[in-house]
């Protein structure tokens, strides 16, 4: 958003509070009532804690239990690590910025905050893209799945996701933040071209790829279901149970992807429209959409626990501390 710039000659802002009273080109501070401020602290703080603890459960479960050491779960592990970083690095900064709308932590921390925010979103969507590729082979080419998607391939996918996201973060630092803007605001992608290009390559393009892959999976899964209904062969029934498990996993991960798109699409639409509309979208609206996007990082562990019985078993063993009372690495979770 194009912040309001205040000069000594402007009479209309005399009654408004500035981020820096002694600076001519200071941003105007948003005055938040103390009750609302406390509620924001409580909500954001709770969101940060739930996000951190929930994704720690996923990480510990996948790392500890050998039965969860699969290519799909390694990709889920990478997604959980990116969500954990959102809970520990992004949300605390957002708490400081949302309450007063002013940024008092300096340009260096502003650049660091920007280098975490967008890159971690990019990391999440790249992880989801590779998860959709994993599901594509599992459902559409089950006989080739183990040869096409193995631990080494999953490791390459994870390295690519983190490498591209790191480059995005470095690019944000090089481009710089807050250039040509009023003092006291921390903004990402002030330049219209970089804002729109960033949205296209970090969100829209991967989202279109994911949706296309899941549409293909849905069509193939429907054909498989009809084929299974029209046969009574025992060997086919055995294969059908495996196919059913794969389809359930695909459905669960499609819900994870859908939740991600629902949570983050409003923010990226704002980032696209805002430069084209001369930064007319209110800061409060953008901050609300950022919070909605960040809340997605909290949802995934609950989705896994709801749809996967083996994750529920693993979560209970971790929360109860049972894994510290003996060796349960080879426990049968499903």
Mean pLDDT of the chain: 78
User: Looking at the 3D structure of the chain, how many domains does it have?
Assistant: 1
pLDDT at residue 276 in the model = 78
Identify whether the C-beta of residue 88 lies closer than 8 Å to the C-beta of residue 52. yes
DSSP 31: P
Between residues 42 and 78, the one the model is more confident about? 78
The answer, yes or no, to whether residue 52 has pLDDT greater than 90, is yes
Residue 210 resides in a domain:
yes
In angstroms, the CA 192 to CA 214 distance is 32
pLDDT at residue 4 in the model = 43
Closest-CA residue to 203 (of 135, 259, 279, 124): 124
The answer, yes or no, to whether residue 103 has pLDDT greater than 60, is yes
The answer, yes or no, to whether residue 152 has pLDDT greater than 90, is yes
In angstroms, the CA 178 to CA 110 distance is 9
**Averaged over 45-71, what is the pLDDT?**
93
pLDDT at residue 61 in the model = 94
Closest-CA residue to 121 (of 21, 256, 264, 221): 264
Backbone angles phi, psi at 205, to 5 degrees: -65, -50
* pLDDT tens-place string over residues 216-268: 888 887 777 677 666 655 444 444 554 666 777 778 888 888 888 899 899 88
Residue 25 resides in a domain:
no
Residue 26 resides in a domain:
no
* pLDDT tens-place string over residues 5-36: 444 444 444 456 677 666 666 666 666 677 87
pLDDT at residue 116 in the model = 78
Identify whether the C-beta of residue 98 lies closer than 8 Å to the C-beta of residue 306. no
Identify whether the C-beta of residue 297 lies closer than 8 Å to the C-beta of residue 83. yes
User: What global pTM score does this model have?
Assistant: 0.81
Domain limits for position 243? 34-224+234-320
Q: For 22-36, 165-179, 193-207, 225-239, which range has the lowest pLDDT when averaged over its residues?
A: 225-239
Residue 169 resides in a domain:
yes
CATH value at residue 56: 1.20.1070.10
Residue 333 resides in a domain:
no
pLDDT at residue 8 in the model = 44
Q: For 1-15, 80-94, 131-145, 228-242, which range has the lowest pLDDT when averaged over its residues?
A: 1-15
Closest-CA residue to 87 (of 128, 52, 112, 36): 52
Between residues 284 and 230, the one the model is more confident about? 284
Which whole-number Å values give the CA distances from 13 to 7, 8, 258, in the listed order? 9, 9, 43
């Amino acid at each position: 958003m194009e912040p309001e710039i205040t000069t000594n000659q402007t009479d209309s802002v005399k009654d408004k509070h500035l981020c820096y009273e002694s600076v001519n080109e200071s941003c105007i501070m948003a005055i938040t009532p103390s009750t609302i401020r406390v509620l924001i602290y409580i909500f954001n703080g709770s969101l940060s804690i739930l996000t951190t603890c929930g994704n720690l459960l996923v990480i510990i479960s996948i790392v500890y239990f050998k039965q969860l050491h699969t290519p799909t779960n390694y990709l889920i592990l990478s997604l959980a690590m990116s969500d954990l970083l959102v809970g520990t690095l992004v949300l605390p900064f957002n708490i400081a910025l949302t309450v007063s709308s002013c940024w008092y932590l300096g340009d260096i921390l502003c650049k660091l905050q920007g280098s975490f925010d967008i890159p971690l979103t990019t990391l999440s969507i790249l992880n989801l893209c590779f998860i959709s590729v994993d599901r594509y082979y599992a459902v559409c080419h089950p006989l080739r799945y183990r040869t096409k998607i193995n631990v080494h391939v999953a490791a390459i996918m994870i390295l690519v996701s983190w490498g591209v996201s790191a480059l995005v973060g470095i690019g944000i630092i090089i481009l710089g933040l807050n250039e040509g803007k009023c003092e006291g605001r921390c903004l990402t992608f002030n330049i219209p071209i970089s804002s729109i290009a960033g949205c296209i390559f970090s969100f829209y393009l991967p989202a279109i790829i994911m949706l296309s892959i899941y549409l293909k999976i849905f069509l193939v899964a429907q054909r498989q279901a009809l084929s299974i209904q029209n046969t009574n062969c025992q060997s086919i029934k055995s294969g059908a149970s495996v196919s059913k498990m794969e389809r359930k996993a695909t459905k669960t991960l499609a819900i994870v992807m859908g939740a991600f798109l629902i949570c983050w699409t409003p923010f990226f639409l704002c980032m696209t429209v805002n430069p084209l509309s001369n930064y007319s979208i209110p800061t409060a609206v953008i901050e609300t959409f950022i919070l909605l996007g960040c809340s997605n990082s909290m949802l995934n562990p609950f989705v896994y626990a709801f749809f996967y019985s083996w994750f529920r078993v693993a979560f209970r063993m971790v929360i109860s501390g049972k894994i510290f009372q003996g060796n349960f690495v080879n426990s049968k979770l499903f």
